[in-house]
Structure 1
C-alpha cells in the first residue's frame, strides 16, 4: 500500500485534541488527589484511602495514555520524514506502528473511563442510602 506524505498529517489534529483531553483528565485527577490528601490527613477513613488507591491507578493509566499518544505523534512525524526521503515502505510501516500506538492509547482511555464511572457510582450509592 502506498501512502502519501499527507496521510500521516491527517492524524495531527486528532492526536493533538486527544492529548489535550488527556491533559484535562490529568489535571482534574491531580486536583482530586490534592483534596483527598488533605481530607486523609485531617481524618483518615478507609473510604478515602480506597479513593486515593483508585486515583493512583487512574493516574498511571492516564500517564500511559499520554505516553502512547505522544509516541504515536512522534512516529507520525517520523513517518512523514521517512516518506519525504522517499523510503515509502519504511514510512508505511512506521505510520502503521503509530496507528497501533494510538489504538493502545484509546484502549487505555476506555479502561480509565470505566474505572472513573465505577468510582462515581460508588459515590452516588452512598448518597442514595
Structure 2
C-alpha cells in the first residue's frame, strides 16, 4: 500500500467546495419556489399545487442529505490530514476511505435528485403541450 500524503485529501477540498456551492444553490432555489407556491396556494387554494409541493419537499430532503454527506466527507478529509500530521497512517487511510464513500453517496443522491427534477420538468412540458393542443 502506498503512503497517503497530506496533498491527497487536500485535493478534494476544491471539488467538495464546488459541489457544496452547487448544492446550496439548489437548496436556495427550491426554497424560493416553495415560498412562491405556498403563497399561490394560499391565494387560490389550487389543489394542483399540492403535487408540486410534495415533489419539491422530496427534492429538498434529498438536497439536504446531499449536503450532509458532502460536509461529512469534507470533515473526514480534514481529519485524515490531521491523522497524517500526527503519523497515524493506517487510521488516516481508513478515514479517507470513509470520506470517499460519503462523497460517493452524496453524488448518488445528486443523480436521484436530478432524475426527479427532470421528471417534474417533463410533467410541466406535457401540461403545456396539452394546453396548446386544446387551443
- Aligned positions of 1:110-121 closer than 5 A: 110-121=111-122
How far is the alpha carbon of 1:43 from its aligned partner? 1.3
* Aligned equivalents of 1:102, 1:44: Cα separation in 2: 41
The superposition leaves residues 45-78 of structure 1 with CA deviations (integer Å, 9 ceiling, x where unpaired) of 2320000000000010000000000000000000
Cα distance in 1 for residues equivalent to 2:44 and 2:120: 20
CA distance in 1, matches of 2:127, 2:47: 14
Q: Distance in 2 between matches of 1:24 and 1:47?
A: 26
1:6 offset after TM fit, Å? Answer: 1.0
Match of 1:42 in 2: 43
- TM-score normalised per structure 2: 0.94
Structure 1 unaligned spans of 5+: none
Larger Cα-atom Rg: 2
Runs of 4+ in 1 over 6 A off after TM superposition: none
Measured against aligned partners, the alpha-carbon deviations of 1:53-105 in whole angstroms (never above 9, x if no partner) come to: 00000010000000000000000000000011011010000000000000000
1:57 is matched with 58
**Equivalent position of 2:31 in the other structure:** 30
Number of positions where the alignment pairs a residue of Structure 1 with one of Structure 2: 129
TM-score (norm. length: structure 1): 0.98
CA shift at 1:9, angstroms? 0.3
Helix, strand or coil: the match of 2:45?
Answer: coil
